[in-house]
Structure 1
Amino acid sequence: MTPAQRLAALLTLPPPAVIGWRRDVPVSGAEFIEAAGRWQAAFAAHGGQRFALYFQDSLHFAAALFGLWQSGKQAWLPGDLTPASRQALRSRVDGFAGDVPPPAELPAVEAAALPAAAGQPLDASAPQLVVFTSGSTGQPQTCPKRLGQLFDEITALEQAFGAASAGAAVLGSVSHQHVYGLLFRVLWPLATGRALQAQCLVVLEDLAGLTPPGARAVLIASPAHLSRLPLLAHANVDQVFSSGAPLPDAAVPDCLRVFGQAPIEVYGSSETGGVAWRQRNPRAALHWQALPDVEWRIEDDTLWLRSPHLMDAGWQPSADRAAAVEGGFELRGRADRIVKIAEKRVSLTAVEAALRASPLIADVRLLTMTEPREQLGVVAVPSAAGWALHDEQGKRALAEALRAGLADVLERVALPRRFRFLPGLPVNAQGKATQARLAAEFDPRRPPLRAVDATDAGHDLTLLIDPALPQFAGHFPGHPILAGVVQLEWAELFGRERFGITGEFAGMEALKFQRVITPHQRVTLSLSWAAGKLAFRYHSEQGQHASGKLLFTTA
């Protein structure tokens, strides 16, 4: 029986003794089947057809997902539970199941009290899943999937990678709410008899504690996680996977140091599914190799694909440029990023390339902004020379130097007008610089971020206290100081971004304010996260300014 066939028949097969672990507590296959049956009964009794699922616990999620599929209904997987996301789902789904914070915009579905018969194997042709694209180049879009697309991809993954990790437990630092985490953290172990860890790995130091006793581990990670590895001597894993965004070249040496191997990078998207892979071990090829049953070709520098993981059987263009090399292909960037600014066609790829060519810039992303008018926004990581200009002459001088360098690329009316300079590109939990995440940097209430340093405890963020911040208005005329409530807001903002905190704010403890923070200061915000508590500390050359802990609900 293939992995695809086992997934289709999962609730009809004899359950394994242990299907996964919830931290250090084993979860039996019988317990999982019973939970899925209860969810099946609940969804079958509901008159709706489309349901949004959001769980932090991967085993609870998997039981609800298979129970929903067994009832013949369609699952929608939002990437987050922000109020805007919940409101957007309100008119598109008939109910919600999982960890929804109040107030709920959707009617909730809870597992029924009694189990239901498992029924027949799932219909692989049924379009029973909707995921969302990442939003890297625009607003996230819905992406429907047939069950067969997902299940066949699991067969391909096992064929390509399974031999090296037979019997290992699967742990992940990525969410199963996105297609990469769904495939690797949930469906792959369920289809192949590997135990899956229900809890998400937040820091690598937790790897040993979340690995079942006596088991080896497979780590499903994101580029963002692998780019900030701690100073560990070694982490014992059979395989490490990375997907969802490009893995920076600079992350590979640290991965070799910590894991003894480079991650297996998987190239694909929500729309295409998995396409190809590579592993940049020493002396290994840098090109991408197609996954089993995936065909590719190059037309006009664009990568075209034909794959059982696509909705249509024919050849389809991807969103990436590529070039054929011996043994595979190389990726050359996005194929179509054309926008209109002031009625002028602008290639975002060309403008980004021109900015990267400047000795003042190390990395950059562009976004289109509509308020107060249509214009380009630039989120850039300055080079050492760029930071020197920024610190000596100010942000405006650096921005004007970059605008001058674009004179041969853009007409004057289309030149970027808004700039944000950061120590690193802002990314979401999947390691992607999405439009929403980039746009958040232009919130005038955010303090300028000068540096970010990873520590054994968490993160140290160096903030520049700009006198133009609107939080200083009225507080106090002639003697501006940064209000304590603003310091708490910043701690929560950066804590959620740095640690992926999704729980609701639940209180504070050990709160202390020792010194005021005034304009023009350079202040370090130290953050650490453990057991539902975000510890923060503001300090500078003058000493400690404030400290405390913010409490959050956990699933």
Structure 2
Amino acid sequence: MTDFISLDHLLRSSRASTYPVAKNAAQIIDYACFSKEVARWQQAFSQHSGTRFALYFNDSATFAAALLGAWHAGKCVYLPSDALPATLQKLQEVVDGFAGDVPAALSPISATPAQANGWQTLDLNAVMLVVYTSGSSGEPCAIPKKLSQLVSEVAALEACFGKQCAGANVLATVSHQHIYGLLFRILWPLSAGRMFDTARLAFPEDIAAALSVCSPAPAILIASPAHLKRLPEQLDWQSQSLLAVFSSGGPLPVEALPACRTLLGSAPIEVYGSSETGGIAWRQRQQDHQTAWRTLPGIAIRVEDDILYLRSPHLNDDAWQASSDRVLLTPHGFELLGRSDRIIKIEEKRISLSAMEQALLATQLLNEVRLIALAGSRLSLAVVACPNEAGWRLVDKQGKRALNQALRDALADSTDASALPRRFRYIWAMPSNAQSKTTHAALLALFDPRRPEARLIERSKDAAQLTIDVSASSPFFDGHFTSAPILPGVAQVDWALCLARELFELPAQFLRMEVLKFQQVILPNSQIQLELKTLNKGEETTLTFKFVSAVGTHASGRIVLGGPL
């Protein structure tokens, strides 16, 4: 069994010169070649007086060599999760230089010829790494990591999973630019002496192909839920070589487990943690009902007001730290109940809803905006916004899609494409309850396909006029009728009452309908106007509505309501 070497002693202790470190499509990179590459990067970084350098590489072996080279040159490495223009621009304010696959305008450092000298033991108390994530305030948050924190986390992984992964090659779908990928596909394999593939397996077909190439040699797969929940059955999954599959970076849906068990041979080992806290707990759901998380070695937890607190060697000190997660203690560990802040994960990328909302408001096209997550085959973001005069003017001149695109463009430099909003609702005011609070349920209701997309044109205390775009995708057209669809009368009454309740305080109880008339049909993809008026008479309120368009009146009637508001 290969000796485990702590990161601070990794190069000083050394391995045999022919020991395999990494593998790419062309060759196996042995220890002698790798250590020479580290020396070249150490020489390059040593020639610069700065102490803080940002690294972004596509190739994992080159990244690993540059990382160790920077550390042995006494530098602190900043680890951006992407190379988007906005990300690099912000990094320029805090780092002294760049290395890797970044624009030439940033003058990235390149490795220089050098020979490996005697390697020194690295300082465990030195801050060696800074990772970035989004804070609850919406501003990017820099998280410094001492080498001791990384060493303790790698040691915990080896203590918990080392025997199961002995002798395995490391395959990965995740980037080493994220703390999960950095630990599991770079630092842990280097310490444990496991060879890792230098390329990231971006698609399920890549995973299947990599398994077929390495078979029958043992392998472990460092994966994300985004990949594990989309495993095509038609591929040739030679999973007999897989010793373990790891999943982290986001929740793995229970619906993905049967395919993982069948195609990959076992349920993934799910690891729960964060950039701030490091790894906290793990579970392996061989059965769907096995939901409890077990803490990793060295982690102590407690719960106060449903919030998880932890004490961990992966943190900067020994004090108890509150997480952003709500949990429930169980006899076998704990269960996660959801996050307590406004940070969500989409395709394993942490997204600050607050930061995105501030970016959208900066377009000066909106008066107010809220972002919410919509469930479905994949989690996606939706925008609920109140356009200002400039926003509505854009809609009038170029259509709703133009405003949609303007808002997406405002986020493009700072947000990964997979996390950009996919749905939009433009309204006159945010829905609010009796306590003047906008609830998540009220925002979700705006995306009910039965609700019309309406724009408020005029409004007074007891009257309003709206424009409605009648979408052909409305479920009210289903089956009514197949050859010549028309909007049912019951849908028109429902729309009138729904929109009136959003505009006026109306009694809850429906009493009766009066003088209801349907004069002309409403067709898909038409635009109509809705006129609403309310009149209070004692304990009753009468809502009068009329649907009109360029062809005349379509429908009209009165709805009488009563009871409490």
Bucket of the pairwise TM-score, normalised by the shorter protein: 0.5 to 0.7
| Matched residues, number | 389
For 1:94, which of 93, 96, 110 is the aligned residue?
Answer: 96
Q: 1:220, CA displacement in angstroms? A: 0.4
Select the residue among 358, 369, 384 that pairs with 2:357: 369
Distance 2:268 2:136 in 1: 23
Greater Cα radius of gyration, structure 1 or 2: 2
Alignment of 1:82 onto 2:91? no
Name the counterpart of 2:251: 246
Aligned partner (choices 256, 262, 286) of residue 261 of structure 2: 256
Q: Does 1:378 align with 2:380?
A: no
Question: In the alignment, which residue of structure 1 is the partner of 2:155?
Answer: 155
Distance 2:7 2:21 in 1: 13
Judge conservation of contact 2:4–2:193 (CA < 8 Å) in 1. no
Tell me which residue corresponds to 2:230: 228
Contact 2:2 2:193 in 1 (8 A): no
Which one is further off, 253-262 or 45-54?
A: 253-262
Change beyond 3 A, Cα 1:420–1:67: farther
Aligned partner letter, 2:332:
G
Aligned match of 2:119: 119
The answer for the alignment partner of 1:516 in structure 2 is: none
Q: Residue 217 in 1 paired to residue 219 in 2?
A: yes
1:417-428 superposed matches below 5 A: none
Distance 1:135 1:235 in 2: 41
State the partner residue of 1:58.
60
Query: In the TM superposition, what are the counterparts of 1:321-470 in structure 2 within 5 Å?
Result: 321-337=326-342, 369-370=357-358, 371=361, 372-381=366-375, 407=433, 411=437, 416=443
Which is worse superposed, 177-186 or 140-149?
A: 140-149
Give, in whole Å, the separation in 2 of the partners of 1:136 and 1:142: 13
SS in 1 for 2:162: helix
Identify the residue that residue 529 of structure 2 maps to in structure 1.
Answer: none
Instruction: Evaluate the alpha carbon distance shift between residue 60 and residue 134 of structure 1 in structure 2; reply closer, same or farther with a 3 A threshold.
Output: farther
Q: Relative contact order: is structure 1 or structure 2 higher (C-alpha 8 Å, sep ≥ 6)? A: 1
SS at match of 1:200: coil
Q: CA deviation at 1:151?
A: 1.1
Determine the structure 1 residue equivalent to 2:271: 266
SS in 2 for 1:253: helix
Alignment of 1:201-212 (within 5 A): 201-207=201-207, 209-210=209-210, 212=214
Deviation at 1:55, TM superposition (A): 0.5
Change (3 A) 1:260 1:52: same
Moved more, 261-270 or 211-220: 211-220
Structure 1 pair 256–227 and aligned structure 2 pair: CA distance change class (3 A): same
From the superposition, tell whether residues 226 and 114 of structure 1 become closer, same or farther in structure 2 (CA, over 3 Å).
same
Partner Cα separation in structure 2 for residue 329 and residue 29 of structure 1? 42
Within 1, Cα distance between the matches of 2:161 and 2:113? 40
Structure 1 equivalent of residue 297 of structure 2: 292
TM-score scaled by length of structure 1: 0.63
**Change over 3 Å in CA distance of 1:411–1:304 after alignment to 2:** closer
Q: Please say which of residues 222-231 and 54-63 is displaced more in the overlay.
A: 222-231
Shift of 1:98: 0.7
Q: Displacement, 1:230?
A: 1.4
Query: 2:54 touches 2:78 (CA, 8 Å); kept in 1?
Result: yes
The change in CA–CA distance for 1:411 and 1:272 in structure 2 (over 3 A counts) is closer
Determine the structure 1 residue equivalent to 2:478: none
Partners of 1:155 and 1:284 in 2: CA distance: 30
Separation in structure 2 between the aligned mates of residue 306 and residue 331 of structure 1, nearest angstrom: 18
1:221-266 superposed Cα distances (whole Å, 9 cap, x missing partner)? 1111112111236341111111111111221122112112111110
Q: Is contact 1:3-1:151 (8 Å) kept?
A: no
Whole-angstrom distance in 1 between the partners of 2:370 and 2:140: 20
Percent identity of equivalent pairs: 46
Instruction: Name 2:173's counterpart in structure 1.
Output: 173
Shift of the 382–322 alpha-carbon distance from structure 1 to 2, 3 Å rule, reads closer
Q: Is the 8 A contact 1:320 1:333 kept in 2?
A: yes
Structure 1: how far apart are the matches of 2:316 and 2:295?
A: 18
Q: TM-score, normalised by structure 2?
A: 0.62
Once residues 43 and 138 of structure 1 are traced to their aligned partners in structure 2, the CA distance between those partners, rounded to angstroms, is: 33
For residues 324-383 of structure 1, the C-alpha deviation after alignment (integer angstroms, 9 at most, x for no partner) is 100201111112449xxxxxxxxx9xxxxxxxxxxxxxxxx9767242234323342479
Letter matched to residue 196 of structure 1: F
8 Å Cα contact 2:40/2:112 also seen in 1: yes
Alignment of 1:23-42 (within 5 A): 23=25, 25-42=27-44
Q: For residues 282 and 314 of structure 1, what CA distance do their matches in structure 2 show?
A: 36
The unaligned stretches of length 5 or more in structure 1 are 339-347, 349-364, 384-393, 423-447, 451-519, 521-555
Give the deviation of 1:404 after TM superposition.
10
Q: Deviations over 1:400-422 (max 9, x none)?
A: 99x99974685369975997799
